[in-house]
Amino acid sequence: MEIPVFTVDAFTKIPFKGNPAAICPLINELSDDLYQKIAAEMNLSETAFITKINPADDFSTGARFRLRWFTPTNEVPLCGHATLASAAVLFYQKKNTNATVVFDTKSGPLSVRQQGESIIMDFPLNTPDQKDPSDFKDLIKAVVGDQPVQEVCFNSTTKKLMIRLADSCGRQILAGLKPNSAALLASEGTGRVMGVIVTALGTPETHPGYDFYSRYFAPWNGVAEDPVCGSAHTVLAAYWSQKLGKKKLLAYQCSCRGGEVNLEVRDDGRVNLIGQAVTVLRGTLTL
């Protein structure tokens, strides 16, 4: 069996920046066990599998596909960067002719469309609720150490804990955090939290004018740090839009690779995640 595979760097236009995802467009469905083995073999934060819903369609003309995402250890219900990368494969590699393509996923239908050199993704907005930091004190300590924390929020849908650093902490403090995955796993083993977002107020007054910064850690999903996480930005967009009184936001995830996300918070409980992507590898898996 031969399976095409593409490695796409998402939320960037520069190779080896942003967040890499492996994308496999499949003629036929595979077993869940094989999906997981392929994702483990690719060993990226996510491997996505695009499959046809209508057998008569092909990847160049079809407008609706099934999409699933796997980390090296498990399937996840929502992934932004691998959705962006999947859309890039369809639009740029398969030359899909549709203005909009819809992916059927575990988080419902997600539509994607091109806008210039960017791709716009229609995602659910996941508003977090404010929490008492003492409820997560060991986990917070494991992630940010002794850095001052301004607010702690949690979104139960995504199981993401969001820690906002005090405004005295700039981008350098956030970028310098070095949480240990083992310490995170030891401090939270209930299954309630599956990822931790750390965020800080941006510097919109300086070019290019980022409204906020973030990093994202998910060792519970086999990912020590996700370089640029789209699903985390469904939480961040809701939070910072309310705090800043803005519907359009420009965000930067300051991992080592780094990546930029444009956000448009809509009035219908959805958010547009906008980013670029570049394909760095095309190959074939032989099984």
Q: Tell me the pLDDT tens digit for each residue of 119-144.
A: 999 999 999 999 999 999 999 999 99
Provide the percentage of residues in the chain whose pLDDT is more than 70.
Answer: 100
Average pLDDT over residues 101-111: 97
Which 3-state string (H, E, C) describes 154-181?
EECCCCEEEEEECCCCCHHHHHCCCCCH
Average pLDDT over residues 168-195: 96
151 part of the active site: no
Q: How far apart are CA 68 and CA 79, in angstroms?
A: 9
Average pLDDT over residues 266-286: 98
- Cβ within 8 Å of residue 67, ≥6 positions away: 48, 49, 50, 51, 83, 86, 103, 104, 105, 110
- Which pLDDT does position 161 carry in this prediction? 98
Side-chain-facing half-sphere of 135: CA atoms under 13 Å? 13
* Model confidence pLDDT, tens digit, residues 10-25: 999 999 999 999 999 9
* Model confidence pLDDT, tens digit, residues 130-180: 999 999 999 999 999 999 999 999 999 999 999 999 999 989 999 999 999
β-partners of residue 160 are 155, 195
Average pLDDT over residues 78-84: 97
**∠ at Cα 275 (269, 279), nearest 5°?**
135
Contact 275, 116 (CB under 8 A): no
Q: What is the mean pLDDT of the chain?
A: 97
Q: Which of 46, 188, 225, 260 is catalytic?
A: 46
Average pLDDT over residues 65-76: 98
* Model confidence pLDDT, tens digit, residues 213-243: 999 999 999 999 999 999 999 999 999 999 9
Q: How far apart are CA 204 and CA 48, in angstroms?
A: 34
Which ranges of the chain does DSSP label H, i.e. alpha helix? Answer: 32-42, 80-88, 137-144, 171-175, 181-187, 230-244
- Which pLDDT does position 228 carry in this prediction? 98
- Which pLDDT does position 206 carry in this prediction? 84
Q: Is the pLDDT of residue 252 over 90?
A: yes
- Which pLDDT does position 250 carry in this prediction? 98
Side-chain-facing half-sphere of 26: CA atoms under 13 Å? 21
Average pLDDT over residues 245-256: 97
Side-chain-facing half-sphere of 31: CA atoms under 13 Å? 3
- Which pLDDT does position 205 carry in this prediction? 84
Q: How far apart are CA 151 and CA 147, in angstroms?
A: 12
Q: Is the pLDDT of residue 89 over 90?
A: yes
Average pLDDT over residues 49-54: 96
